[in-house]
Amino acid sequence: MVEPGAFDRIAQDRIVPVVIPGEPIQMEGLVEALFLGGLGTIEITLRSETAIDAISIAAKQNNLIVGAGTVLSVEQAENAVGAGARFLVSPGFDPAVVGWAKRNDVPIIPGIATVSEAMRAIGSGLHFVKLFPAEQLGGAKTVQAMGAVLPDLKIMPTGGVTLKNLTDYLSVPAVGAVGGTWIAPADDIVNGHFAKITERAKAAVALSLSL
Ligand code: 3PG
C-alpha cells in the first residue's frame, strides 16, 4: 500500500488537532485517543521544550501523519523534519522557511492574514495556506471572501476554531481543513484525560461527515 502524503491525509480528515506537548509528553496515549476519535494527523507546535521529543515519539506511531507547527525559522524546520515531521505549519509567511521546505520537498502550510499574503504564497508555488488567527480576522465569512477571489487556494483556518463554529468553517468550499487546540488542550494531554480527547475528536469528525 502506498502511504498517503501529508496533504492527502489532511484533506481527507479535514480536522488537524494542534497540540502543545508538556511534561510528561504522553504522545502514545494522545495518538491512540485521536485514532479512536477518527483522526490521523497531528500538528505538534514548537512552542514547548518537549516539542522535538514529542515529534520523534509521534513519528514512530504507525499510520499517523505528524507535522510541526509554529515553525518560525529554517533551523526549526530542519530540527522538526530531522525528528520525523512530515509537514510544516507556520503562523506567518517567511520566504526563507518556505524556500527551505520547497527545496527539501517537505509540504508546508504557511500562515496568511490578507489576500496579498495569500497571493505571495501562490506566487511561491503553494496551494495550501493557514488563515491565522481565523476568528479574530472575521471567521468563516473572511475565508469565504478570500476563497472566492483565489479559486486555486485551499485554506486551513486556525485560531479560535471550536465545535461551535466548525460547521461554518467546513462549509466554505475553500476550506481544505481546520486546525485547532480545542480537541486536545494541553492540560488534558499532560493529565492523561484521553477519553475527553477521543470524545471531542469523535464529535468533530461526526460534524464534518454530516456536511
Ligand atoms: C496555533 O498554534 O495554530 C493556534 O494557536 C491554535 O489556535 P487555537 O488555540 O485557538 O485553536
**Cell numbers standing for residue 185:** 488542550
Q: How far apart are CA 77 and CA 97, in angstroms?
A: 7
Position 1 scores a pLDDT of 37
Q: Tell me which of 3, 28, 60, 130 is the catalytic residue.
A: 130
Q: Ligand 1 centre and the CA of 159: distance in Å? A: 4
Q: Ligand 1 centre and the CA of 78: distance in Å? A: 22
Q: How far apart are CA 198 and CA 112, in angstroms?
A: 30
Position 130 scores a pLDDT of 98
**Cell numbers standing for residue 209:** 461527515
Phi, psi torsion values for 41, nearest 5 degrees: -125, 160
Name the stretches of the chain with pLDDT < 50.
1-3
Position 136 scores a pLDDT of 98
Q: How many angstroms separate the Cα of 109 from the Cα of each of 88, 124, 187? A: 6, 12, 26
Is residue 67 lining ligand 1, measured as CB closer than 6 Å? no
DSSP secondary structure letters along 134-150: TTTTTHHHHHHHHHHH-
Is residue 92 lining ligand 1, measured as CB closer than 6 Å? no
Q: Ligand 1 centre and the CA of 2: distance in Å? A: 31
Q: Are strands 87-89 and 108-109 parallel, antiparallel or unpaired?
A: parallel
Handedness of CA 191, 32, 45, 80 (dihedral sign): positive
Q: Tell me which of 3, 28, 43, 154 is the catalytic residue.
A: 43
From edge to edge, which strands make up the β-sheet containing 65-69?
Answer: 108-109, 87-89, 65-69, 41-45, 15-19, 178-180
Q: Which atom of ligand 1 is nearest to the CA of 161?
A: 11
Is 23 an active-site residue?
A: no
- Of 18, 42, 72, the residue with max ligand 1 atoms within 8 A of its CB, to mutate for a pocket test, comes to 18
Position 4 scores a pLDDT of 56
- Of 46, 48, 132, 169, the residue with max ligand 1 atoms within 8 A of its CB, to mutate for a pocket test, comes to 132
